[in-house]
Structure 1
Amino acid sequence: MECNPVVWFEIYVQDMDRARKFYEAVLQITLEKLNNPSDLPGLDMWAFPMAMEKSGAGGSLVRMEGVASGGNSTLVYFACEDCAVEASRVTTAGGSIQREKMSIGEYGFIVLAIDTEGNMLGLHSMK
């Protein structure tokens, strides 16, 4: 394989405004509205900031009629300088902490959190 195996991710939500506010507050970013294909009415997508020339995967929040959020087995980890910083914003933004910052040995540290839509997310840092 000549590239990273993950090229895109989607986090399904029920309330787009609430979910956007959560991720923008915790990660201190601004999501960008994506244009909907004309053959998919009722689709609402907001992308995380992407640097196309860099490694890693881009992705978006998605609200689609008939597709529920939460309860899935997909876990997306967001890169952080120190995951404790982003974790400190989770509760204020309407989410909850599932697992406080913990060491994963030589691979750094993680925090597991639950967003406003019931999805679990990971925060990862090397310090």
Structure 2
Amino acid sequence: MKPNPVVWFEIHVQDMARARKFYEAVFQCQLETLKSPAGEASGMQMLSFPGDMTTMGASGTLVKMEGVPSGGGGTLVYFACEDCAVEQGRAEKAGGKVFKPKFSIGEYGHCALVTDTEGNMIGLHSMQ
């Protein structure tokens, strides 16, 4: 396996407008419409997080797809933050819930776990 093996992520949602509002508020970014690789007739909706293929890390999308539920499923995506307590606070204000507030992971920095408006848990990571 190559280093940094994750190259893409998808966070499944039930209400795209609500999910967009949550993620744009928490991460202070603008999500962009991404055409479905399955074509318009598939009914699949995608909003892409900002990405830069020339730097380290993975990009991904919010996805609304018939028959695919949102919510906990055993996979957790961590978003890089300057100070994860900031995004943790934004998550609460944007309608999410804090599952585990900012905590130390020793020499590897700090994390927080929050649940979005669709029931998905995401991780927040920062060195401070």
Task: Specify the TM-score bucket, using the shorter chain as the normaliser.
Answer: over 0.9
Where 2:42 maps in the other structure, the secondary structure is coil
Matched residue type, 2:97: S
Per mean C-alpha deviation after superposition, the further-off stretch among 48-57 and 29-38 is 29-38
> Where does structure 1 differ by over 3 angstroms across 4 or more consecutive aligned residues?
none
Distance 2:2 2:117 in 1: 36
- For structure 2, list consecutive stretches of 5 or more residues without a partner in the other structure: none
Matched residue type, 2:19: A
TM-score by length of structure 2 reads 0.95
Task: Provide the aligned C-alpha RMSD in A.
Answer: 1.2
Give the 5 Å matches for 1:31-110.
31-36=31-36, 37-38=38-39, 41-110=42-111
Q: Show the counterpart of 1:26.
A: 26
Cα distance change, pair 124–66 in 1 and its aligned pair in 2 (3 A): same
Quote how far apart the aligned CAs of 1:26 are.
0.4
Q: Sequence identity, in percent?
A: 62
Quote how far apart the aligned CAs of 1:2 are.
3.9
Is 1:115 the equivalent of 2:116? yes
Distance 2:91 2:72 in 1: 19
Quote how far apart the aligned CAs of 1:60 are.
0.5
TM-score by length of structure 1 reads 0.96
1:72-116 deviation digits (Å, cap 9, x = unpaired): 111000000000111111111010000010000000000000000
1:56-85 deviation digits (Å, cap 9, x = unpaired): 111100000010000211100000000011
- For structure 1, list consecutive stretches of 5 or more residues without a partner in the other structure: none
